Amino acid sequence: MLEGVRAFFHPVISLLMNFVRHYGLPGLFFSSFIGSTIFVPFSVEAAEAFLIAAKENPYLVILVASVGALMGTWVNYWIGYFGSGLVEKRVGAGNIKKAKDFMDKYGWPGLFLVIFIPTPIPVDPVTVFPGLARMGFAKFTVVVFVAKVLRYSVVVALLTGLLSFIHL
């Protein structure tokens, strides 16, 4: 099963990384946008690493990745908001209830932590839940943007420090 998923997404992920390599910041924006939707599991951090190693301005890397990723999560939010019936068919009513209960219990602080704390699995699909739970769009936008900026700032700072340590 996992091999099939990998085989399916590998060409798409390779395409996104090639966008970053060939187009720099605009490629990062596009890849961050696509990779933050529920459709493609893509590591924005890997793309950031490539651009930091290529001596791109770290502040621009953080800003461009954050804005692209935010806009990708807007797609997820609106899928949850307007497509709750479709989402329910795909993941089941029980999981929808769990998601709504999570949002009711933890609200924006829970969303912030899920997005900010680095994990080995993509967390952007979680951004469907605030739409399902009818979190205000402005609040959602602020929480996600701040979490993404802080997450990517930590990643870029670590990458910059590591690269200066090994003198690349």
Give the pLDDT confidence score for residue 54 in this predicted structure. Answer: 82
- Give the chain's radius of gyration (CA, Å): 16
Give the pLDDT confidence score for residue 47 in this predicted structure. Answer: 81
List C-alpha distances in Å: 167 to 9, 82, 115, 155, 158: 34, 50, 31, 18, 14
Angle at 133 between CA 129 and CA 139, to 5 degrees: 85
The total of other beta-carbon atoms located within 10 Å of residue 101's CB is: 11
Cα–Cα distance measured from residue 61 to residue 118, given in angstroms and rounded to the nearest whole number: 18
Cα–Cα distance measured from residue 88 to residue 33, given in angstroms and rounded to the nearest whole number: 24
Each residue's pLDDT expressed in tens, for the chain with a length of 168 residues? 546 555 655 676 676 677 677 788 998 998 899 889 988 777 788 888 878 888 889 999 999 999 999 999 999 999 999 987 777 777 777 877 887 888 888 889 999 998 999 776 778 888 998 998 889 999 999 999 999 999 999 989 988 888 777 765
Give the pLDDT confidence score for residue 111 in this predicted structure. Answer: 92
- DSSP letter at 84? H
How far from chain centre, in Å, is Cα 141? 13
Give the pLDDT confidence score for residue 6 in this predicted structure. Answer: 55
Helix, strand or coil, per DSSP, at residue 58 = helix
Give the pLDDT confidence score for residue 38 in this predicted structure. Answer: 83
Cα–Cα distance measured from residue 137 to residue 115, given in angstroms and rounded to the nearest whole number: 16
Give the pLDDT confidence score for residue 121 in this predicted structure. Answer: 72
- Within 8 A by CB and 6+ apart from 49, the residues are 155, 159
Domain ranges across the chain: 2-165
Helix, strand or coil, per DSSP, at residue 157 = helix
**What is the pTM for the complete model shown?**
0.84
